[in-house]
Amino acid sequence: MHNLKGLATGIGSLPYQDVDSALDLIFKNLPNIPFWPQLPQRNLREGMVVQFSENVPCLRFGDSGVYFYPQNKEEELEKFYEKAIDNDFDYFKISREYAPGVYKFYERLKGEALSKVELIKLQVTGPFTFAAAINDENGAALMHDKIFMQAVIKSLNMKALWQFNMFKEFGKKMAMFIDEPYLGCFGSAYTPLEKKDVVGSLAEFTDGLKSESVMLGVHCCGNTDWSIFTDSKDIDIISFDAFDYQDKFVLYADSIKSFLSRGGVICWGIVPTQEFTGQEDVALLIRRLRQGIDSLVKKGIDEELLKERLIISPACGLGTFAPQKAEKIFSLLRETSDFIRGNF
CATH assignment of the domain containing 241: 3.20.20
In a domain, 10, yes or no: no
Is residue 27 a part of any domain in this protein?
A: yes
Residue 267 domain-assigned (yes or no): yes
- For the chain, the average pLDDT equals 94
Q: What is the average per-residue pLDDT within 86-114?
A: 94
Please check whether residue 7 lies inside any domain of the structure. Answer: no
Residue 115 confidence (pLDDT): 84
Confidence at residue 194, expressed as pLDDT on a 0 to 100 scale: 86
Residue 15 predicted with pLDDT over 90: yes
Total domains in the chain come to 1
Interval 169-208: pLDDT, tens: 999 999 999 999 999 877 665 667 888 989 999 999 999 9
For residue 187, the model assigns a pLDDT of 63
Q: Residue 1 above 60 pLDDT?
A: no
pLDDT of residue 291: 97
Question: 3-state secondary structure string, the chain?
Answer: CCCCCCCECCCCECCCCCHHHHHHHHHHHCCCCCECCECCCCCHHHCCCHHHCCCCCCEEEECCEEEECCCCHHHHHHHHHHHHHCCCCCCCCCCCCCCHHHHHHHHHHHHCCHHHCCCEEEEEECHHHHHHCCECCCCCEHHHCHHHHHHHHHHHHHHHHHHHHHHHHHCCCEEEEEECHHHHHCCCCCCCCCHHHHHHHHHHHHCCCCECCEEEEEEECCCCCCHHHHCCCCCCEEEECCCCCHHHHHHHHHHHHHHHHCCCEEEEEEECCCCCCCCCCHHHHHHHHHHHHHHHHHCCCCHHHHHHCEEEEECCCCCCCCHHHHHHHHHHHHHHHHHHHHHC
| Contact criterion met (CB below 8 Å) for 239 and 313 | yes
| Nearest partner of 338 among 30, 114, 10, 116, judged by Cα | 30
Mean pLDDT calculated for residue range 214-240: 95
Residue 2 lies in a domain: no
Average pLDDT estimate for 313-333: 97
323 assigned to some structural domain: yes
245-271 mean pLDDT = 96
Query: What percent of the chain is predicted at pLDDT more than 70?
Result: 98
pLDDT value of residue 85 = 96
pLDDT at 2 over 70: no
Tens digits of residue pLDDT in 58-75: 999 998 899 999 999 999
Residue 287 lies in a domain: yes
Is 5 among the domain residues? no
pLDDT for res 124: 98
The whole domain housing 331 covers: 19-343
